[in-house]
Chain A
Amino acid sequence: MKFIDEYRDPELVRKLLNAVNVLAEKIGRPITLMEICGTHTHAIGRFGIRRLLPGSIRLISGPGCPVCVTSISDVDRALYLAERPNVIFATFGDMLRIPGTGGRSLQQIRAAGADVRILSSPLDGLSIAEENPTREVVFLGIGFETTAPTVASTLRSARRKGLKNFSLFSVHKTVPPAIQSLLDDPGLDIDGFICPGHVSVITGGEAYRLIPEAGRAAVITGFEPVDMVDGILLSLQQILEKRYAVAIQYARGVTQGGNLRARQTMAEVFEPGDADWRGLGVIPGSGLFIRKEYESMNALNRFPLPEIHSAEFEGCRCGEILRGAMSPPECRLFRKACTPVNPVGPCMVSSEGTCAAYLRYEA
């Protein structure tokens, strides 16, 4: 299949792996690379890439799964909103099983009677609102720069259509501030970052300048096996030559400048604010909050929230895993108390979660 097969060419992957081996040997010390994006984690597992790499290269997963970094208090707030009478609660599929305090999830409250709907596009939420004029449609907007522009544009359309029964609960976040927070951690031992592919289509390469400035390799990488191994190779080159810059491996999708129009749409609806990330804590300027101009469509204004006492699960190490400070098998709950059927922490829930990917592909 065109645009796929050429990026899964076993011969090309083999050649790139040979080059990786040569560079790894030249560098002559253990190298740690962090893939920030959950889809990269998934691709590494799905194609069995980890086992093809030389032993000196360690890949660790970063905070790039939007479901996983959603704080437990945001999950609890989502559950509260979804349980309001007369509410149709709509969101993306991966949120369904994420446990809030006490292990409750959207899936469970749906089985108990809440009207929770899974959408592929936020725009479908507008049709649901139009078809159900006497009910309130609340959309949970989640994701990084990839999904935030579409959600922003949905809010714009809702206003243009004069829809009174559609509102948004935004837990959107942006990636560069999270990278900054990782770089600021003195205990973090990372030689380079495999930067996200799709987020970068919007942000452009410029957004990652902070990485080479901190003396680490940065390669924006695609999601196919050829891309992944090529991205690792380009990172090793930077590390060997100690010449750091934002390289774009995923050039068929990403430019240095990114998608300005999408960023403008985002900026019209959202403003940056401090957001609480699971595992990383509060990161300044990393959240996308609804601007004053769209305040009437903010679900948090429409449904006054009581004080909710959220509590993390005992023994859950998702925090360390999201910072790359720990790998899933090192967690005592992994595969025992915490499985995809009975997930304790978010990294086990989402298909992009580090623990789910490990259990699914590498256990």
Chain B
Amino acid sequence: MSTERILLEHGGGGLLSHELVTEVFLPLFSNACLDRLEDSAVVTLEGRKFCFTTDSYVIDPIFFPGGNIGSLAVHGTINDLSVCGGIPLMLSAGFILEEGFPMEDLKQITRSMAEAAKTAGVSIVTGDTKVVARGAADGLFINTSGIGMIEYPQPLSVDSIQPGDAVLVSGTLGDHGATVLCRRRELGLSSGIRSDSAPLNGLISSILAASQHIHCMRDPTRGGLGAILAEIAGQSGFSITIQESELPVRDEVKGVCEILGFDPFFLANEGKVAVFCAPADADRILATLRNHEYGRDAKIIGSVGERNGGGLIMQTIIGGSRVVDLPLGELVPRIC
């Protein structure tokens, strides 16, 4: 590791997070399942395929337009299962509460979790609660894990990506990231942006039913679409070309990004999926996505090229091109 202590950037989903996982955790935990580094572990039990995932939620602010930490914790885990082709079956919920946290807030968050789980058709079947002294946590943290059952016959994985594959995204980029940025006190920006936090299991089952040629899916959360595409390009060795002009971004999000110097391509989403599929099926999958309430703004944004280690290439709106690298991690506004 290049640093002696954990930096905030180690949690940012960028290069430093990658370094943390591959240099600290992977060498010691290594096994065939984990080494794939997919959103969920895929395991076969008695001839049936299941997926298993876990995620911790530490968002600040706890409440934000479009949701709160509770609905986010349920949606996030459902989405991690769904992008691996899993039909979410059950979740666990672990709470770390800080002494003094308002009971009313906890109830509201719990209600949101129950609603989110009900809407998605998933049960929370086990849980755990710990309370720590004031100052030892920031309000509350939630961990959720989930198990899903996989019925899709083809393996959904980076390894399944083929040259020529189409790349789709299910809707506008950066809504969640921009919402959270605006809510952070120090920015003092007000905008009509809402988080896109949503359960994607319905949307994803509809496209899995529509095509037998979906090769890989990811939910572009932390680090945004840019981070997951750069990561996939790195892992697969394929060059991936994205058309900047096709990236769907809301005007409000674009505006916030212009003011603060962020790129929506690297802002978090909590209700979007990126899909790699055979080019012949791209239009059908696009139509299916657009038919669903969470996929109205879906677009075909690019394609997979040769396996030449070319990385992620952005064709810019004015016809130039550039290489896109994994972002570093911590999002900081630029000076001028």
Contact = CB atoms under 8 A, between A and B. Distances in A.
Contacts of B151: none
Contact of B318 (A48, A92, A111): A48
B335 interface: yes
Interface in A330-354: 340-342, 350-352
Contacts of A10: 245, 317-319
B334 A120 contact: no
Interface stretch (B2-10, B107-115, B124-132): B2-10
Interface in B1-32: 2-9, 15-16, 19
Contacts of A111: 3, 5-8
Given A4-B258, A107-B7, A120-B186, A361 B317 contact: no
Contact of B336 (A4, A50, A119, A198): A198
Interface stretch (B98-106, B171-179, B321-329): B321-329
B317 A362 contact: no
Given A108-B7, A341-B15, A48 B321 contact: yes
B15 A92 contact: no
Nearest to A351: B334
Query: What range describes how many residues of A lie at the interface?
Result: 35 or more
B332 interface: yes
Contacts of B317: 8, 10, 47, 225
B319 A143 contact: no
Given A49-B320, A120-B186, A225-B318, A96 B330 contact: yes
A300 interface: no
A319 interface: no
A231 interface: no
B206 interface: no
B207 interface: no
B334 A93 contact: yes
A363 B309 CA distance: 13
Given A13-B318, A107-B9, A341 B2 contact: yes
A336 B324 CA distance: 18
Nearest to B311: A363
Nearest to A90: B186
B335 A4 contact: no
B316 interface: yes
Interface of A: 1, 4, 8, 10, 13-14, 38-39, 45-52, 66-67, 92-94, 96, 107-108, 110-112, 118-121, 124, 142-144, 146-147, 198-199, 225, 340-342, 350-352, 359-363
Given A13-B318, A46-B322, A52-B318, 12 more contacts: A1-B254, A13-B319, A14-B319, A48-B319, A94-B334, A94-B335, A108-B5, A124-B186, A340-B15, A342-B2, A350-B334, A360-B323
Interface of B: 2-9, 15-16, 19, 186-188, 245, 251, 254-255, 258, 260-261, 314, 316-325, 328, 330, 332-336
18 contacts: A1-B251, A1-B254, A10-B319, A39-B336, A48-B320, A49-B320, A52-B319, A94-B334, A108-B7, A120-B333, A143-B335, A225-B316, A341-B16, A341-B328, A351-B334, A359-B325, A360-B324, A361-B322
